[in-house]
Structure 1
Amino acid sequence: MEVVLHAGVHETEADRVVKCLLRNIDRLHAEGVSVPSPGSYRRPLRDALALLSDRAPDPGARQQLLTRVLDGKETDRLILSNENFFCVPKLAVSRGKFYPLAETKMADFREFFSEDHIELFLAIRNPVTYLPAVFAASPHDDFATFLDGTDPLTLRWSELIDRLRLTLPDVELTVWSQEDTPLIWGELLRQLGGLAEGPAMAGEFDILQEIMSGEGIERFVSYLTDHPELSELQRRRAAAAFLDKFALDEAMEEELEGPDWDELTVDLMTELYEDDIEEIAEMPGVRFLNP
């Protein structure tokens, strides 16, 4: 069986992924793909993995979880999603790293599902907006306390990906940039479901609709209707062209709450993030979803 874990990260539309997959549940079921309700597995899986710190999985533990999650039904591909899988928001940055416990958590997950083929899906986000957003989701009142002594200029998503690849070389890893999500949303849903290229998924353009004018989205949908032969890549390129012309400026802007970074710092962090994306996209064993 293929077991897919979508582990966020925090503040990257994680819950929206599940909701949109569920809108396509009939199509997914027809392909042997299961998307159980997160409430059916998040706590039981967390409790089962917590026991692995000092012992091997109990015989039958995997099957017990699957029976509960799948209600006794067979499946070829199981999609699990939890943005708190690595940790809660207050622990997302520590010791100068993103998610310092990530590889340990994934190693436990791999051990628990040792009979299965594992895939990990992970979004990344510009630290300029990611850090304030996760800080706001944490119980911390002070941004410096949240950073735990970490210099934001030294944080690299590629360092997290490196740790995961070194610890779990047999786990397939798919990564994308949150900033590209409106343009690659459909491809992401298909990759999660293990689906071949085909008709648009239900909800494929929902995010695009939120950042594009009504006229723009109407023209875009009309264009797709008139050109049903377009490939996925061609649809993404068309979306980028329409977004470039009809984007809502106010929807593209984000307020930063917490840090008092000046414009130079913001620009530098963004430049470092863009360099980091290029490095991740070239990493062996990593599938990076480009718009």
Structure 2
Amino acid sequence: MAGPDPRSYRPVLREMPVALRGAPATDKMQTAMLQAALEGATAERLVLTNPSFLCMPQKALAQHMLYPMAGEKAHWLAQLFPGARPCFLSGLRNPAIFVPALFALPKERDLAAFIAGTDPVRPSWKDPVQRIRNALPGAELTVWCNEDTPLIRPDVMQVAASGGATDLAGGDAVLAKVITPAGLARLNGFLADSPALDPAARRRAAFLDKYAIPEAVEEETDLPGWADGQIETRTDRYAEDIAAIAAMPGIRFLAA
């Protein structure tokens, strides 16, 4: 499995889908993309990452919804390597946190233009996930809650590796950012004594409630014009969205 430096391939992958607009890439185009990503190396599986695969952040809210072109853009991406089975992995973030984080990007200044008339209580992840599922019914689609990433990163990496690796480096990289060194050391010691621990038990062993770093796990929800009641309502609807997505046919949902 290869997970190349994004700087090596993002310029090519930014331009190629727009140029093709859903048409299949030629063999020559595919070779050029692989050369840019692998830089002379070889791999049986290639993992490409980009937070803007579906669109640029400033266009994430349009037509009163999240990622209205999710299905179309996913199809464009799949056509970059039309002979391969596409696999999409995506962490979903509470819109009450996600929208303010997008607006906090350096280039965003006009809140009204950024929100594009979207009701802050309305955005749903269920819709873009369903659009991707409809556009690519044969694709592998794996989703999880971004809030759970520290606990399930090893599972995410295992899916990215297509089950081909059992011990992947960096599995605790995110967990190390939100748990104290003492907590991480205790977790690693516990796991060393219990090598056959299943993933669910491993997550329970993280002791996140006891060893969490407060400032690392508490996210800001500050956005001009957003009331506390809207944030609470949006969070409740996010939980409903996640339950609906987890029950969708053809979706692999990774739960903490």
User: Structure 1 length as normaliser, TM-score?
Assistant: 0.81
SS of alignment partner, residue 142 of structure 2: strand
Match of 2:189 in 1: 222
Q: Take 1:170 and 1:285, find their aligned partners in 2: how far apart are those partners?
A: 9
- Which runs of structure 2 are paired with 1:25-174 in the superposition (5 Å)? 33-53=1-21, 57-137=25-105, 139-174=107-142
Matches within 5 A, 1:251-290: 251-290=216-255
Hey, what's the Cα distance between the residues in 1 that align with 2:224 and 2:247?
A: 31
Task: State the alpha-carbon separation in 2 of the partners of residues 252 and 54 from structure 1.
Answer: 39
Superposition deviation, residue 195 in structure 1: 2.8
Three-state SS of the structure 1 residue aligned to 2:11 is: helix
Which ranges in structure 1 are unaligned for 5 or more consecutive residues? 1-32
Shift of 1:235: 1.0
* Aligned counterparts of 2:205 and 2:187: Cα–Cα separation in 1: 8
Residue 86 of structure 1 deviates from its aligned partner by 1.4
Kindly state the Cα deviation for residue 72 of structure 1 after the two structures are TM-superposed: 4.7
C-alpha distance in structure 2 between counterparts of 1:246 and 1:55, whole Å: 50
Residues of 1 paired with 2:174 and 2:48: CA distance? 22
Aligned to 1:206, the other structure's residue is in SS state: coil
CA contact (8 A) 2:178 2:213 kept: yes
Deviations 1:175-232 (A, max 9, x none): 0111101110111111111235734x32222322322233322322221122222122
Aligned twin of 1:212? 179
Summarize the Cα distance change of 1:288–1:259 in structure 2 as closer, same or farther, 3 Å threshold: farther
Question: 1:260 is paired with a residue of what secondary structure?
Answer: coil
Q: Distance in 2 between matches of 1:257 and 1:207?
A: 24
Cα distance in 1 for partners of 2:233, 2:165 equals 38
8 Å CA contact retained: 1:90, 1:138? no
Count of aligned positions: 256
- The one-letter amino acid paired with 2:155 is E
TM-score for both structures, normalised by structure 2: 0.92
Shift of 1:41: 1.4
> Whole-Å Cα distance in 1 between the matches of residues 179 and 101 of structure 2?
23
> 1: CA distance between counterparts of 2:131 and 2:69?
10
- Tell me the amino acid that sits aligned with residue 202 of structure 2: R
| Alpha-carbon separation, structure 1, partners of 2:179 and 2:39 | 41
Encode CA deviations 1:127-155: one digit per residue, 9 max, x unaligned. 11100001111522132221100012111
Q: CA deviation at 1:257?
A: 3.3
Distance in 1, Cα, partners of 2:178 & 2:92: 20
Distance 1:72 1:213, change over 3 A: closer
Measure, in 2, the Cα distance between the counterparts of 1:120 and 1:55. 19
* Paired amino acid for 1:40: S
Unmatched 5+ residue regions in structure 2? none
Contact kept, 8 Å, 1:197 with 1:232, in 2: the verdict is no
Asked if structure 2 preserves the Cα contact closer than 8 Å seen for 1:158 and 1:279, the reply is: yes
Aligned pair partner of 2:198 in 215, 223, 231: 231
Give the Cα–Cα distance (whole angstroms) in 2 for the partners of residues 177 and 40 of structure 1: 28
Match of 1:202 in 2: 169
RMSD: 2.0
